Structure 1
Amino acid sequence: MATKVQPSTKKEKTQLVDMNWDPITRIVGSLGIYTKIDFENRTVAECKSTSSIFRGYSIFMKDKDPRDAHFITSRICGICGDNHATCSCYTQNMAYGVKPPNISEWIVNLGEAAEYMFDHNIFQENLVGVDYCEKMVSETNPGVLKKAENTRAPNADKHGYRTIADIMRALNPFSGEYYREALQVSRSTREMFCLMEGRHVHPSTLYPGGVGTVATVQLMTDYTTRLMRYVEFMKRAVPLHDDLFDFFYEALPGYEQVGNRRILLGCWGAFQDPEVCNFSYKDMNAWGNKMFVTPGVVVDGRLVTTDLVDINLGIRILLGSSYYDDWKGQGKFVERDPLGNPVDERHPWNQHTNPHPQRRDLDDKYSWVMSPRWYDGKDHLPLDTGGGPLARLWATALAGKVETDHVKATGQSVKIRLPKTGLKPEVELEWKIPKWSNTLERNRARTYFQAYAAACALHFAERAMAEIHAGNTKTWERFEVPDEAVGCGFTEAVRGVLSHHMVIQDGKIANYHPYPPTPWNASPRDSFGTPGPYEDAVQDQPLFEENNRENFKGIDIMRTVRSFDPCLPCGVHMYLGKGKSLERLHSPSGGSPEE
């Protein structure tokens, strides 16, 4: 297809080439990235993010027994099913008016901390790490690899690799030493999870009202011994990734613009403090601010709110370029929240799901993903999660509300104290708020948050052990399912914000909508034409790959998409072909279209 613009005197030619990666899969082959590449200027001129799968949980949850919600929604995902189960139990606790015993919430926190450690570790080292390994860099940026061979690693004494190229070799799939070591570490973190929640990744011991896990000293000992081995691993992982990512800034001036977008970050908080949390909506702001990961919305570097009530009421579900018919006029399930605040028609409590299958049209409807936005009273903001860790650390740092013996939020940073282990002394790590919300900083934050989760787990284990020694081993509280109720749960799935919204009528589920991080990150252009975060981060980013059009792999694009930890994915499959050219002739003074 060729489009021409009438020239006046001087013609300026720009060729855009269609380059598509569909599917980009790691688990479910449903994520597609459609781009137009300007090879002359080495930039991405346009990006569209598509999903070819419809799940329909919001439809078949209707009329179910509310007590089954966590078992059903856990099956939404084969990666973060436990996060859904946890969030659903939080939602049910609110709807039923039940407060679980303290020990049960420490156990839930320990399970979720293990899941963060497991998932972030295996994704960072065995999936994202491949993008920066020797084999990949040699194929896409041989000049960078040459420089890496001659660049000493500043933290070599901490992680054991002399040069940056040595780090890259250690990340090579299957043959790399660090790659293989990470696989072993992921096994122990999975064992930690199963100790607390029974089964990975669909928990068998999580319930509204508490857990079925038996709280014993032996349980905590088995968990902690594995945790300390992970702590020792993190003392190498953090400085290793600092060296690697800092090197890319140095080796490729301007690389900070890869995946960079306006700072629009959302975090819904994680790790309840059972001393404060009663799951009552009316107290949600109070107990939300006592979470060990602080909820918050960060706009242009400023913390707009940490109030979960504000966060809840600001959620809007827009359609735009997604395959659904609007529900405007179909009626509300919830007019006002339990505090009397009006609830918008586009809030998840009031959402109706009207799927409308159709042919993909990148100029109109092109994705099954809706477009969640956060309304600040003026604009519908396309928040992203920074892959999860970036938003979590950023909101927690700015809020300055968290302080234990192991972690502290300072207002500008998060300090993480890792105690002495078998082979390494005590260390203090500090994640500092970066200048950019970009590809490298999303990845860097993922490593630091692994250390943060481990440090939090040390605190949770200590508190759980104290409960056990005090004889407080009851792990479940009875409840009754009301005929009419609403509930909402807020937590962080591994890759970012997760909320569940439930309406109960006549003792059954009348409406249920889970919103995990991928709809926020992978959303298409919304009703106002605003691109989703994947699209926004990729579009207009520079390209540093040394390959020409014929051999182009799109590594900078892939790094950006994967920095968000997309939950539609497990090995990357690419379809390139030779591309399709769009020829445009531009005139400095404009002109009318010419056939």
Structure 2
Amino acid sequence: MSVQTPNGFTLDTSGKRIVVDPVTRIEGHMRVEVNVDSQNVIRNAVSTGTMWRGIEVILKNRDPRDAWAFTERICGVCTGTHALTSVRAVEDALGIKIPENANSIRNMMQLALQVHDHVVHFYHLHALDWVDVISALSADPKATSALAQSISPWPLSSPGYFKDLQSRLKKFVESGQLGPFKNGYWGSAAYKLPPEANLMAVAHYMEALDFQKEIVKVHTIFGGKNPHPNWLVGGVPCPINVDGVGGVGALNMERLNYVAEIIARIIQFNDEVYVPDIAAIGSFYKDWLYGGGISSQNVLAYGDIPERANDYSPENLALPRGAIINGKLTEIHDVDLRDPQQIQEFVTHSWYKYPDETQGLHPWDGVTEPHYELGPNTKGDKLAIDSLDEGGKYSWIKSPRWKGHAMELGPLSRWTVGYAQGKAEFKEPVDKFLRDLGLPFEALFSTIGRTAARALESQWAGYKMRHFYEKLIATIKAGDSSTANVEKWDPKTWPDEVKGVGFSEAPRGALGHWVKIKAGKIDNYQAVVPTTWNGSPRDPKGNIGAFEASLMNTPMVNPEQPLEILRTIHSFDPCLACSTHVMSEDGQEMANIRVR
């Protein structure tokens, strides 16, 4: 049976059903089902979040100054970004202003997260969708060295280096203990890289695994630890004492100089490894321009990285804010997170209850009431689903919509908005990437384009970190060492009833937290995360979300080895952990859910 969706996709459920569960490499609790036709082309796609988060229930009646510590535990991958968004929401509600130094430090922590997440995402969560590890065993180390030196001045590129790594990889494979390389579809005809490119990429996989732990030391210096660094309503928790020699949490020159060293290494790694790798790998997949979905039609960004403290206007944000709908790149729509008509969440196909499920709710009025029921045409039962019925409820993810439109969020969306605004810092890198690969502008809206945007953003973020580091040092030299404003710390100074919204651009896309505070306690809290938007099920009108749309019309080499599905879904860097947390007050297990 064929159905036309309002957002322009023809869904056909008559073909063979393929189930991938879970879609994950290290993190991500989700399930994808597709129908393929006789030519193995995807004609229907169903994306499912398989566990419930429940953080909104946990936060009810708690002190809003503590909310960041709970929301930060939503995810251990994008660690810190939920905390930043939470403190911004509470500060917005209570009218709290932060010092300039706090703004610079917060920006560096957020940018460090962007770099860390993008590097880990590509090399450890996504690269193996493009790179055949076993093929690397047949590579010529000399030819690999020549390839590496032709694209970058990165020093780890000698024939001996690649020969040694190949020998270690061979022993690893022969041992049978493949660890993260287990269960790959090695040898699939969907892989396009020659052995030498595969060996180079595996080497950089190993190097990135070692380097990623250095990046997050920025969080330990400014926030005391990682994952889950400390944050503070009113600023940051780290005092500045440049003349000090130690002290827990204090910033002295030794610590600040160390941050400068990390930033320099970040810039070098992005410039000489990450971005060149994306271009090199992309050059072998120039004909695989699938996975665009709604990325060329409907994209959304809230903006982030304020230049000056306490100013969240679009003009003050380094990452752009705006919405593009119906593919009109010449028309950038303003985004107002307070407008109840702009952002609404629907639960028609989600495992939740609303008073009226034909209507959406703005997050300030959001309801989080779980209701697990399967559609009548589901095959299997609640504990062992064989095939879902997308005509009913089929996901723990709600369906957020912007003015009724399904939207894509993430680095590609941010860079599309920045490009459409004509900003050179976004436009020129995109044009260069496409020009170097000989690709048309339309190729940006594909799985390759989504992957490239993340690498370009990591490179951009490294240089922005250096900018805010220099700004912090200049402010300190000018005699300002303040990092927190505690004038409104006492709840007695708060109005009886207030509400606020905080936003950021998490690595995976626009993130918003909405809070209502009554009598000094949280009355309602709603977090709408990027993967909620991208991984959303259908809405009441039948519009499909970004994940589902991205898989449509993708040809598969072998549906029994669904590499193409993983390749495109992983390009979003899905973070289903942001939808998976529930616990009792004493920390005991409340339920054991089996999904197969």
TM-score by length of 1: 0.76
1:554 aligns with 562
Contact 1:258–1:556 (Cα < 8 Å) also in 2: no
Contact 1:289–1:307 at 8 Å: present in 2 too?
no
1: distance between equivalents of 2:360 and 2:291? 37
**Equivalent residue number for residue 109 of structure 1:** 107
Residue-by-residue CA offset, 1:321-370 (whole Å, 9 max, x unaligned): 1111223499xxxxxxxxxxxxx972111112221112364231111100
Cα separation, partners in 2 of 1:120 and 1:527, compared to 1, 3 Å: same
Give, as a single letter, the amino acid of the residue that structure 1 aligns with 2:479.
Answer: G
Letter in 2 for 1:488: V
**Whole-angstrom CA distance in 2 between matches of 1:565 and 1:522:** 11
Please say if 1:390 is aligned against 2:427: no
The amino acid that maps onto 1:322 is: S
Q: 1:211 aligns with which of 218, 221, 236?
A: 236
Contact in 2 for aligned 1:26/1:568 (Cα 8 Å): no
2-side partners of 1:298 and 1:22: how far apart? Answer: 32
* Counterpart position of 1:482: 495
5 Å-filtered alignment, 1:167-316, equals: 167-171=197-201, 176-204=202-230, 206-215=231-240, 216=242, 217-236=253-272, 237-249=274-286, 253=287, 255-261=288-294, 262-275=296-309, 277-278=310-311, 284=312, 287-299=313-325, 300-302=327-329, 304-305=331-332, 307-309=334-336, 313=340, 314-316=342-344
C-alpha separation in 2, matches of 1:351 and 1:323:
14
Q: Report deviation, 1:509.
A: 1.2
1:210 alignment partner, SS class? coil
CA contact (8 A) 1:269 1:292 kept: yes
C-alpha distance 29-459 of structure 1, shift in aligned 2 (>3 A): closer
The structure that is strand-richer by fraction is: 1
Matched, 1:514 2:527: yes
Between 300-309 and 461-470, the greater mean CA deviation after superposition: 300-309
Amino acid at match of 1:225: E
Counterpart of 2:383 in structure 1 is none
| Greater displacement, 392-401 / 455-464 | 392-401
Q: Is the 8 A contact 2:68 2:86 kept in 1?
A: yes
The number of residues matched between the two structures is 492
RMSD: 3.4
1:529 aligns with 2:542: yes
**Superposition deviation, residue 28 in structure 1:** 5.4
- Please list every run of 5 or more consecutive structure 1 residues that lacks an aligned counterpart in the other structure: 5-13, 143-147, 279-283, 331-343, 402-407, 418-430, 571-576, 578-595
Gaps in structure 2 of 5+ consecutive residues: 3-12, 160-192, 243-252, 379-388, 433-438, 579-595
Deviation at 1:468, TM superposition (A): 1.0
When residues 179 and 209 of structure 1 are mapped into structure 2, their CA distance, relative to the original with a 3 A threshold, is same
Q: Could you tell me how far apart the structure 1 residues matched to 2:333 and 2:135 are?
A: 41
- In 1, Cα distance between equivalents of 2:256 and 2:28: 39
Contact 1:288 1:307 in 2 (8 A): no
Alpha-carbon offset, residue 63 of structure 1? 1.4
Aligned runs of 1:103-502 on 2, under 5 Å? 103-135=101-133, 155-158=150-153, 165-171=195-201, 176-204=202-230, 206-215=231-240, 216=242, 217-236=253-272, 237-249=274-286, 253=287, 255-261=288-294, 262-275=296-309, 277-278=310-311, 284=312, 287-299=313-325, 300-302=327-329, 304-305=331-332, 307-309=334-336, 313=340, 314-328=342-356, 346-359=361-374, 361=378, 362=389, 363-375=391-403, 380-385=404-409, 388-400=410-422, 408-409=424-425, 412-413=427-428, 435-478=443-486, 479=488, 480-502=493-515
Q: For 2:418 and 2:338, how far apart are their aligned partners in 1?
A: 15
| Contact kept? 1:413, 1:433, Cα under 8 Å | no
Cα distance in 2 for residues equivalent to 1:42 and 1:359: 28
* Aligned counterpart for 1:70 among listed residues 43, 68, 71: 68
Q: Partners in 1 of 2:238 and 2:413 — Cα distance?
A: 31
Distance 1:399 1:155, change over 3 A: farther
Over 3 Å counting, the alpha-carbon distance change for 1:231 and 1:88 in structure 2 is: same
Partner Cα distance (2:322, 2:401) in 1: 14
User: Secondary structure in 2 aligned to 1:503?
Assistant: strand
Shift of 1:15: 7.3
Residue identity matched to 1:302: L
What are the Cα deviations for residues 438-484 of structure 1, in whole angstroms up to 9, with x where unaligned? 11111111111110110100100010000111121111102143321
Contact 2:35 2:44 in 1 (8 A): yes
> Shift in Å at residue 59 of structure 1?
2.0
User: Which amino acid in structure 2 is aligned with residue 219 of structure 1?
Assistant: R
Residues 236-264 of structure 1, C-alpha deviation per residue, up to 9 Å, x if partnerless?
Answer: 22122112112201xxx3x2134444432
The normalised TM-score by structure 2 is 0.76
2:338 touches 2:501 (CA, 8 Å); kept in 1? no
SS of 1:322's equivalent in the other structure is coil
Counterpart CA distance in 2 for 1:303 and 1:502 is: 34
Cα distance change, pair 475–491 in 1 and its aligned pair in 2 (3 A): same
Which amino acid in the other structure matches residue 22 of structure 1? D
Q: Aligned AA for 1:121?
A: V
Give the distance between the partners of 1:220 and 1:471, measured in 2 at CA.
Answer: 16
Note closer, same or farther for the CA distance 1:356–1:157 as it changes in structure 2 (3 Å cut): closer
Distance 1:329 1:53 in 2: 21
The change in CA–CA distance for 1:486 and 1:248 in structure 2 (over 3 A counts) is same
Question: Partners in 2 of 1:432 and 1:316 — Cα distance?
Answer: 35
Whole-Å Cα distance in 1 between the matches of residues 237 and 431 of structure 2? 31
Deviation at 1:191, TM superposition (A): 1.1
